[in-house]
Structure formats: structure tokens, C-alpha cells
Structure 1
């Protein structure tokens, strides 16, 4: 379960930011998760709660925002691929591997949708 090691890194970032801002408690943590980041938010939240035990973030709540993939092409195209909202994320990666530019038909570079970042924290 690689979510545990990701949670350790994310929590270190949260606690460092909280310390830098003289926080007494972390109330809420918002995380951006790319739809093709291969991260299960349920497992990530469980891991974050586990690694936060005994810290000022122990009772924090979590919110997760999904980030859609973005693509770019050498021809100048930049944007989101045409992906149905009902497709599950495991099918999306297979789709993106074979994705071509809607303008010129050449292969594209995936430049977004793989992120995993702490977007914001609410502290007191």
C-alpha cells in the first residue's frame, strides 16, 4: 500500500506548514488528487489519520479534490482530453496511453492529472 508512504510525506508538509505558522491545531486538510495519480483517496485518508496520531493534526478532517488530466501537443493544442465522467480511473490510464491530439492526430504529452498535493490547511 504505497498510500502510507505518500501520507507520511504529505503529513510532514502539513506539520511543517503548521509549525511555521505557529499553529496549535490543524482542523482541516485539503488535498488535490490527480485522477491518474494511482492513489486511492480512501486508503490515503486512512493512512493520513494513522500517521497523524499524537500530532496537532490528529483530529483533522480531510477533503479531496480530483484533478482531471490535461494534455498538450507539439502542434500547440492544450486542454483536457475527451473523457466521460462515468469512466472509472483504471480505464482512464489505458485510454490516455493511446490518446492522440484532436487537432493533428499525433501522440500527446500528459501534463496534468498526476498530482498529489496539499492544497490548503485550516489551522488555529
Structure 2
């Protein structure tokens, strides 16, 4: 389960931001998870709850924003949300697509207690 290593990296990032802002604790962590990121939200939650014990995030809630896959058709220049893993432009039927969003996981925000 690679979510454990993802959470370890996330905790390092959170701790660095908390330290830079002289925070005593973190009350909320908001992440954006792309549907094509390979991250399973329920497994990320389990990993986060496991790793947060005895850290600056011990009392933090994890909020996950699930991001649809957004593509741009390079043929007709229209953006669309990829539905049901169908990587075909719904406007022109083209396959010449560029993925714009939904492949990554981002730390969006933290609520820090000072």
C-alpha cells in the first residue's frame, strides 16, 4: 500500500509548514486527490490516521477533495471531464488529448494552531 509512503511525505511537508509558521498543532489538512493519481482515498485516510499519532497532526482532520480528470482535445481545443475512463473527445471524437488535471495529489491548505 503506497499510501503509507505518500502520507510519510505529506507529514514531512506539513511539519515543515507548521515549523515555518510557529504552529503548535495542525487542526485540518486539505488535500486534492486526482482520480488518476493512483491514490485510494480510503487507504490514504487510514494511513493518515495511523501516522498522525504523536505528531503535530495528532488532532487534525483530513479533508479530501476528489478531482475529476480534465482533458483538452488538441484537435477541437475544447476541455471536458473524462467520464468512465473514456479518453475520447465528446465533441469531435478525437483521441489527441492532453490531461490538464486529475493526475496528482496536492496539499491545498492547512489550519494551524499557534
Higher helix share: 1
Q: Distance in 2 between matches of 1:23 and 1:101?
A: 48
Scaled by the length of structure 2, what TM-score is found? 0.86
Q: 1:2 to 1:77 in 2, by over 3 A?
A: same
Aligned twin of 2:81: 81
Matched, 1:114 2:103: yes
1:49 is matched with 49
**Aligned positions, number:** 113
Runs of 5+ unmatched residues, structure 1: 84-91
Would you tell me which structure has more strand in proportion to its own residues?
2
Structure 2: tracts of 5 or more residues without a match? none
Instruction: Sort the Cα spacing of 1:49 and 1:71 in 2 relative to 1 into closer, same or farther, 3 A.
Output: same
Aligned-CA RMSD value: 1.8
Native 8 Å contact 1:77 1:101 kept in 2? no
